Structure 1
């Protein structure tokens, strides 16, 4: 057993989803636009997803990047807003 918790699994999915959108969550945190509480809230929404395997499959087929989050993502609006801010900067 890897020792990975369900929370850790979903935290990784959030980070990977941000990454394929071109959003660097560490950079956002250093700039003060992303707090530990934001991460907890985002992972909590992700934990409510009933199909994390669908997310993993989608991420695997978009590992070179994309500019749109899948419709089933519970953090779609948040992540796309972050990406839009970066693109317009």
Structure 2
């Protein structure tokens, strides 16, 4: 089981990655495009990343905006779907 600090760290990375790609996760939930369980799955997928430090560096380099996430991101496909207005 993941520690609370690990889950919080990855929840932050997921939120920052989504925002950087132009996806407001809260808005998508309210619109019914993202279920709470989908967000939980995204956070758990993120915890399986072997190098979250690279993600943090990538996010810092983007200046808050990017069309696409990095190839190694386990949630890029999810964020691309949501950005296109599709349901997760």
Give me the TM-score of the superposition, normalised by structure 2: 0.87
Partner of 1:23: 23
- The separation in 2 between residues aligned to 1:64 and 1:16, in whole angstroms, is 8
2:13 pairs with 1:13 = yes
Partner of 2:34: 34
* Consecutive aligned runs of 4 or more in structure 1 exceeding 4 Å deviation: none
Partner of 1:76: 76
- The separation in 2 between residues aligned to 1:64 and 1:6, in whole angstroms, is 23
Q: C-alpha displacement at 1:64, in angstroms?
A: 2.9
C-alpha RMSD of matched pairs (Å): 1.4
Partner of 1:67: 67
Partner of 2:48: 48
- The separation in 1 between residues aligned to 2:81 and 2:33, in whole angstroms, is 12
Q: Please, which runs of 5 or more residues in structure 1 have no aligned partner?
A: none
Count the aligned residue pairs: 83
Q: C-alpha displacement at 1:78, in angstroms?
A: 1.1
